[in-house]
Each structure stands twice: as C-alpha cells, then as structure tokens.
C-alpha cells in the first residue's frame, strides 16, 4: 500500500486538493510514470481523475491537443459494481478509439466518463458542471491549485451518452470561470453559439450511413431487402438515428439493458416509439414471433427459442 501511495505521488503533476472551495477533487497524472508496465496499445499523453460527492470521473487524452465526448454512465443496482470496476478501462478504450478516428484531423482523440453514484442519477447535470469546474481548475491553475506542469493546457470536449444537452451550459460556465477560448471548449453546441448539435442532425450516424449505403450501392443491394443488427440502443442519439435513417429490417438491437432479437424483423413502429421516448430495449412492448425474445443483461442460464 505504501508503494502505491508513493507511485501515486510521483504521478501527480496537478491537483486542486488544497484549494479551499471545490466542487470535486481533481488530479492530473503523468501516465508514463505508472502505465509503462501495463499491456496497453499506447500510453496516453495525460490522465485526469475527478472524485466528486455523487460521481467519479476520468478524462484520458492521447495528445496535447485532443477532443472527444464526455459520457455520463448511469447505473442500476444490478450493474453499478460492474460499471465501477470497468470505468477506467472503458475510458481508455473509448479515448484510444477516438484517437484512431481522428487520424486525419489536427486534433487527436480523448474521452471522458462520469460514473454517477448509486441512486444519484438525478444529480447528473450538477455533477457534469462539477466535473467541468474541476478540470477548469487544473487547466487554469487557479489559486490554491498545486502544479509542477509548466506548459499551458487546453482541453476540448464533445457530447456523448447523457451529455448532449449539456454542451451549451458547459460553454457558458467556462466563460464565467474565466476561460479565454470558452466557445471552443465544447462541440455539439446549438446554432446560437456557432455549433452544430450532433443529436439534432444525427452527425455520427449520417457518416456511418453514408459508408453503409456506399457499400450497398457498390454491391447492388437494396436497403429494404437487407436485415440489420444494431449495437447501441434507441435511448441514445446514435442508435435512435440509425433506426430512423435506415430502411433495412432490424432483427436485433443490443444496449445497456439487454438484447431484443427476432429473425422475422422487429416491429418498426414500436422501435420508432422507443427512439422518440429515448428508452432502452427493455421497454420494447411489441409481440415477438415464436423465434424472437428479449434477454436482460443480467439473465443467466436462459434457453433461447432456437435451443
């Protein structure tokens, strides 16, 4: 344990721990100090940890200038412990994937996660602001923040699960905090701030759809004659927009609540209802064929219709 404390202290290059008034405790780590022995594809440029009263947060970035979404993870009693155990692993994997996606633009990839405490999902908006406030403390090195990191640091964020509507408030908050380039700190903002809201226009989904449609044109396939299995539920902007934009027959969807499957095609009208209300597939109410089913994420030892 003492060796771990020593490694922790060697890794920290910034913290607001000694600041009198804070929304959450924040640390900026040099990951090269403690990740060198780990079997990871690449050591990140920087890792931030934010510990709040109602949440726990991470932010991982692979270059000095990187951008990526902030994902808010809301749990139930059934999956909270699992989400807690895998939060950093998920953040790293999302960030590394974003780095690969951003290979042709000037900004590298980053990602952040906010894991809401058990029973604290309703505190999501204020926890997001505390997360942002803490990262701003470390970026601006405000009074009371201890730092041995000499270079200026600029973080950039985008929308992700449960944070799409927080990009405008986040930008305005950073303006009040005194951050100079406050308009650029978040993407996916409303048009009044010069942004393009990702959810409204189905940004990521449309680019994926163009890829799929290009393959279908090349192969001479018609959308309406094809089936599709979707990873990502109708509760999020990517999954819901994929249902709305595609014409294929959807045979399966998997999301955080479980999986619905029917080889004869799921009821499109019911899927559209789930997209409109932004509910997971455990709210699917239409009838299945004799081969269809819903399986909850926590079910085990279940015999499916095909045996």
Which residues are catalytic, by number? Answer: 111
SS3 245: helix
DSSP readout, 112-140?
Answer: EEEEEPTT-GGGHHHHHHHHHHHHHHHHH
| Nearest one of 213, 287, 286, 204 to 240, comparing CA atoms | 204
305 contacts 291 by C-beta, under 8 angstroms: yes
The burial class, CB within 10 Å (0-12 / 13-18 / 19+), for 89 is exposed
Q: How far is CA 237 from the centre of its chain?
A: 12
SS3 146: strand
């Amino acid at each position: 344990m003492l060796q771990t404390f020593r490694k922790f202290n060697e890794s920290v290059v910034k913290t607001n721990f000694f600041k009198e008034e804070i929304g959450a405790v924040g640390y900026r780590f040099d990951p090269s100090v403690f990740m060198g022995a780990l079997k990871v594809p690449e050591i990140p440029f920087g890792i931030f940890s934010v510990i709040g009263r109602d949440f726990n947060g991470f932010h991982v970035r692979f270059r000095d200038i990187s951008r990526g979404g902030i994902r808010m993870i809301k749990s139930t009693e059934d999956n909270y412990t699992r989400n807690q155990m895998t939060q950093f692993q998920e953040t790293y994997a999302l960030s590394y994937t974003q780095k690969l996606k951003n290979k042709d633009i000037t900004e590298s990839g980053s990602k952040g996660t906010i894991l809401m405490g058990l029973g604290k999902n309703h505190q999501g908006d204020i926890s997001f602001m505390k997360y942002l406030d803490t990262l701003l403390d470390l970026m601006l090195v405000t009074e009371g923040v201890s730092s041995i990191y000499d270079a200026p640091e600029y973080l950039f964020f985008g929308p992700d699960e449960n944070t799409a509507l927080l990009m405008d408030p986040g930008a305005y908050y950073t303006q009040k905090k005194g951050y100079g380039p406050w308009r650029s700190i978040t993407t996916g903002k409303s048009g009044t701030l010069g942004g393009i809201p990702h959810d409204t226009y189905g940004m990521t989904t449309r680019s994926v759809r163009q890829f799929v449609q290009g393959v279908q044109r090349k192969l001479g396939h018609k959308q309406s004659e094809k089936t599709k299995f979707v990873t990502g539920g109708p509760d999020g902007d990517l999954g819901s927009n994929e249902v709305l934009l595609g014409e294929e027959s959807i045979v399966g969807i998997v999301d955080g609540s479980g999986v619905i499957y029917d080889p004869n095609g799921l009821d499109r009208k019911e899927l559209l209802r789930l997209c409109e209300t932004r509910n997971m597939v455990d709210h699917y109410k239409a009838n299945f064929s004799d081969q269809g089913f819903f399986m909850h994420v926590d079910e085990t030892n279940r015999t499916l219709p095909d045996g």
